[in-house]
């Protein structure tokens, strides 16, 4: 059984999902892959302690604090490859970014292989079921290209700015409005 509650964030309405003990998902309303990994009916349970912990974490984050990911019991659903990518995301410090290529190199090294596709990394990052808390917004394309955020590029920019990232060095993908 999975439980849900809503959270009104400065970036929009979010849904937080738990299996009663651990956070399984945090999605922005309308986000690509919204609720996709759960596959079960969700029961509203606004007073469930783990959901309240997640709301408190998000409150502190949006207030400008830097709560640690380890403060929350997380249980994102995904295969071993995605889990490995999400662990790397959790290690990206506040206010910093890495590229899909950086993560690809790290995964290749972990697996003892020569190379890993940055596109494969992009797929795993894009399917991160715990938005904001597992900071997939801290991943950018090569040469400072702001690309790939399931919650939308404008939300990614807001989150990076909220964390104090200098946005002068980034650009939107071709065909998008300039920063």
Residues 85 and 65 in one domain: no
- Residue 39 is predicted with a pLDDT of 66
Residues 21 and 48 in one domain: yes
- Residue 96 is predicted with a pLDDT of 96
- Print the domain residue range for 54: 2-71
Residue 62 lies in a domain: yes
* Dihedral angle sign, alpha carbons of residues 41, 44, 50, 55: positive
Residue 175 lies in a domain: no
Residues 44 and 90 in one domain: no
Contact 81, 111 (CB under 8 A): no
Instruction: Count how many domains the chain has.
Output: 2
Residue 174 lies in a domain: no
- Residue 50 is predicted with a pLDDT of 98
- Torsion angles phi and psi, residue 91, rounded to 5: -90, -5
Residues 6 and 62 in one domain: yes
- Residue 35 is predicted with a pLDDT of 61
- Residues contacting 170, CB < 8 A, separation 6+: 140, 144, 145, 146, 160, 179
Contact 89, 139 (CB under 8 A): yes
| Site of tokens 């606004």 | 46
- Residue 85 is predicted with a pLDDT of 98
- Residues contacting 22, CB < 8 A, separation 6+: 50, 73, 74, 75
Catalytic position from the list 136, 140, 146, 155: 136
> In Å, what is the CA distance from 104 to each residue of 1, 29, 60, 77, 175?
35, 29, 31, 20, 26
CA 73 vs. chain centroid, Å, equals 15
Residues 88 and 64 in one domain: no
Q: Check: pTM over 0.85? Answer yes or no.
A: yes
Residues 125 and 165 in one domain: yes
Rounded-to-integer distance, Cα 11 and Cα 16, Å? 14
For residue 3, the number of C-alpha atoms closer than 13 Å in the C-beta half-sphere is 16
- Residue 177 is predicted with a pLDDT of 43
Residues 84 and 58 in one domain: no
Domain boundary among 13, 40, 71: 71
- Residues contacting 80, CB < 8 A, separation 6+: none
Contact 2, 43 (CB under 8 A): yes
Residues 64 and 98 in one domain: no
Active site residue 136: yes
Please list the pLDDT of the chain residue by residue as tens digits (179 residues): 899 999 999 999 999 999 989 999 999 987 766 666 676 788 899 999 999 999 999 999 999 999 999 999 999 999 999 999 999 999 999 999 999 999 999 999 999 999 999 999 999 999 999 999 999 999 999 888 888 787 889 999 999 999 999 998 888 776 544 44
User: Residue 65 sits in a domain of what CATH number?
Assistant: 3.30.160.70
Rounded-to-integer distance, Cα 179 and Cα 171, Å? 6
């Amino acid at each position: 059984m999975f439980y849900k509650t809503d959270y009104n964030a400065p970036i929009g309405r979010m849904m937080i999902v738990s299996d009663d003990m651990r956070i399984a998902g945090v999605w922005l309303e309308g986000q690509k892959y919204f609720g996709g990994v759960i596959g079960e009916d969700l029961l509203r349970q606004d007073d469930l302690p783990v959901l309240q912990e997640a709301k408190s974490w998000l409150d502190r984050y949006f207030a400008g604090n830097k709560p640690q990911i380890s403060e929350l019991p997380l249980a994102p659903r995904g295969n071993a490859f995605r889990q490995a990518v999400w662990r790397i995301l959790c290690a990206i410090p506040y206010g910093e970014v890495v590229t899909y290529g950086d993560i690809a190199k790290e995964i290749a090294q972990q697996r003892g292989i020569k190379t890993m596709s940055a596109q494969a990394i992009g797929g795993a990052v894009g399917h991160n079921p715990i938005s904001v808390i597992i900071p997939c917004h801290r991943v950018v394309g090569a040469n400072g290209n702001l690309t790939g955020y399931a919650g939308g590029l404008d939300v990614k920019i807001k989150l990076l700015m909220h964390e104090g990232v200098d946005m002068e060095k980034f650009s939107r993908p071709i065909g998008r409005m300039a920063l």
